[in-house]
Structure 1
Amino acid sequence: MKSMNVTSVPAEYLRSVNEMPQGTVQEVSYKVGNYIHLSRQLVTDRGIDTSEAGRETVAGDPILKKCNVYLPAGYDPNDTTVRYNVLYLLHGVGGDQYEWLSSNGKADGRFIICNIFDNLIVNGDIDPLIVVFPNGRSAYDWTDSSFNSEGTNMLGFYYFDYELRYDLIPFIESNYKTYADISDTSHEGIIYNRTRRAIAGLSMGGMQALNLILGGYRHDSTRITGTESPWNNGLDKTVITPGMIDLFDYVGAFSNAPTSSDGKTLGASLTSCVHNLHLLYTTSGDADEVAIGSYIKSIDGLIHQSGNHLNHFYQILIKDGFHDFHVWNNGAYNFSRLIFRNCDDHVRSHVVRKIL
């Protein structure tokens, strides 16, 4: 792979690659046994303690959810000699498993995000990889994309970590040719597998990447918490999440939403984990009135608080950038070029601040 610097997405990378074949996208269904029920309880098939979940946990029937999966050109399910790294890309509050695809638009008749990955692979910037586009609402009404602070669909965003750990990742790694194998729970297996998974998200998905993976707060409706919302959006924090650094070595947050936890909270969670985080990539547009405040808050104090538990920390500000796919495509482009590179693990607390 080529050496790289953080840059804007080359214009030609938004276009379709000339070479054939190209990557493909398939929508697939999978069972979810960990989700928010109509009663706002956490349905789970695992021994999750109510104090950790911040709510009552109950048994219940699994639901069927859908996600989209990008498979690189040449992916052959029958070829047992080739394996792939996996990147999970999370959507925003009003989006779903199609936001990175459909809402991002097309060029030359193909989804722009797929063109970006096709070009990255064809030009040798990255190794071929699998990209998963989940629906980030772990709730019985996961297809409801409305913004309703009292809705269980909204609450589901803050409980996606259980679905990710116990349902989606096992599904992906048992049905696709991935390097990672979550069924290998040996010490060596955990260390290896986390270097083969990456996760990033835009807006609400960026919040999820920070709060659920690094270890920030869950949120619920102020009608339930009985408190005031610091953001005047009807939401307030409840309990802190256990984090998922044992599963992911690379995390990206693009224009992370207002309910993102602050840098000191996230950094403190990192220090409590036995694993170092190899890469944290954060970005926002400087003209983004939705996320610039939460972007600044979430990076402030993080590197100091995390100590030697964070190897590489990128803080990328997009000049004249708004809350849109110009910023998010830049995030996906640069983040994907930085992940799955562990040749310099001896470096500690390396910070890159840049304006594009």
Structure 2
Amino acid sequence: MNDSIPDYTMQTAPAGYDKEREGIARGIIHTVEYPSRAVGNTRKAMVYTPPGYSAEQKYSVLYLLHGIGGDETEWYNHGKPQIILDNLYADQMLKPMIVVLPNGRAMLNDRAEGDHFAPDKVQAFETFESDLLHDLIPYIEANYPVRTDRMHRAIAGLSMGGGQSLNIGLNHLDRFAWIGAFSPAPNTKLPELLLPEPQKAAELLSLLWLSCGDLDNLKNVSDRTHAYLSQHSVPHLWVEENGDHDWPVWKNGLYQFSKLIF
């Protein structure tokens, strides 16, 4: 693992970190459509480009995933990532990055409606691995000036998306060097399946972030993952913060994680 990873003491994000400020440069967040061979149709994602974005510059990319009840708009509607990131750029606390907000439910009708736990919908969150690796990432790399090596690609998410981030990221360390999971859900694979070769993973990871609220009913998923990582000496940041399975924890996760990557 990257020896330069800082010692980290959990801090609550400062007051106003998620409030729109006056007089600062702003990024742009917009919706794109990309062809998905994994699903067989055209799918939507939101893309945030940072303040001062220029086609003459090369950017790192963070793929930021939603929960089981959301879609590509969930972070935008409830987490306001563009405001959090704009403020961090204004404070000179972020590396230049593009943030992609996909729809992690890879199926023909990928809207967040009906029974979110229906078997075909749960399966669609697994299918997303192929959609992300073979369809969305190539689309982003063909249409944006991004760096394409693993050191400049991160994946993170909340709840179901946190489980996806661990499942996909740790299974593809040739593609992702930075992985974050905020309150990962029970879709998270058992630790032995996530990291069958923990020492190899430890050598490849630049940052593995795991956070959860202390009142979260799903905290056992994070606890077992943290215990396995510790047992096998896999460096990671484990953050147990005050909170439940809710947006204050996830927004704080984005605020803290994004400062540390790239």
Q: Please, what TM-score do these two structures have when normalized by structure 1? A: 0.68
Residue pairs, 1:229-308, within 5 angstroms: 243-271=171-199, 276-289=204-217, 291-305=218-232
Q: Tell me the residue number matched to 1:316.
A: 239
Following superposition, the deviation at residue 328 of structure 1 comes to: 0.4
Q: Tell me the residue number matched to 1:195.
A: 151
Q: Tell me the residue number matched to 2:70.
A: 95
Structure 1 CA distance for aligned equivalents of residues 7 and 24 of structure 2:
26
Q: Say which structure, 1 or 2, has more relative contact order (CA 8 Å, 6+ apart).
A: 2
1:129 aligns with 2:107: no
Deviations 1:94-147 (A, max 9, x none): 00111111023xxxxxxx321110111111111221110000011122224443
Contact kept in structure 2, 1:261 and 1:298, CA below 8 Å = no
Q: Which runs of 5+ in 1 are unaligned?
A: 36-61, 105-111, 181-192, 215-242, 341-356
Q: Tell me the residue number matched to 2:3.
A: none
Task: Looking at secondary structure, tell me which structure has more strand per residue.
Answer: 1
Task: Name the SS of the counterpart of 2:196 in structure 1.
Answer: helix
Instruction: Count how many residue pairs are aligned between Structure 1 and Structure 2.
Output: 256
Q: Tell me the residue number matched to 1:338.
A: 260
Following superposition, the deviation at residue 172 of structure 1 comes to: 0.5
Contact kept in structure 1, 2:153 and 2:175, CA below 8 Å = yes
Following superposition, the deviation at residue 269 of structure 1 comes to: 4.7
2:141 to 156, 161, 173: 173
Opposite residue 315 of structure 1, the aligned amino acid is W
Residue pairs, 1:11-30, within 5 angstroms: 11-30=15-34
Task: Name the SS of the counterpart of 1:139 in structure 2.
Answer: coil
**Segment drifting more, 112-121 vs 167-176:** 112-121
Structure 1 CA distance for aligned equivalents of residues 116 and 246 of structure 2:
21
1:63 aligns with 2:41: yes
1:141 aligns with 2:109: yes
Structure 2 CA distance for aligned equivalents of residues 274 and 317 of structure 1:
21
Q: Tell me the residue number matched to 2:38.
A: 34
Deviations 1:147-180 (A, max 9, x none): 3444422211012111111100000111011122
Opposite residue 202 of structure 1, the aligned amino acid is L
**Segment drifting more, 5-14 vs 90-99:** 5-14
Q: Tell me the residue number matched to 1:328.
A: 250
Structure 2 CA distance for aligned equivalents of residues 148 and 27 of structure 1:
23
Q: Which runs of 5+ in 2 are unaligned?
A: 1-5
Contact kept in structure 1, 2:25 and 2:90, CA below 8 Å = no
Structure 2 CA distance for aligned equivalents of residues 255 and 247 of structure 1:
23
Contact kept in structure 2, 1:260 and 1:294, CA below 8 Å = yes
Structure 2 CA distance for aligned equivalents of residues 141 and 23 of structure 1:
30
Structure 1 CA distance for aligned equivalents of residues 106 and 34 of structure 2:
13
Opposite residue 107 of structure 2, the aligned amino acid is A
Deviations 1:315-336 (A, max 9, x none): 00012x1111110011101111
State, as a whole percentage, how many aligned pairs show the same letter: 36
Q: Please, what TM-score do these two structures have when normalized by structure 2? A: 0.90
Structure 1 CA distance for aligned equivalents of residues 145 and 7 of structure 2:
27
Task: Looking at secondary structure, tell me which structure has more helix per residue.
Answer: 2
Structure 1 CA distance for aligned equivalents of residues 202 and 51 of structure 2:
37
Q: Tell me the residue number matched to 1:212.
A: 168
Following superposition, the deviation at residue 273 of structure 1 comes to: 6.1
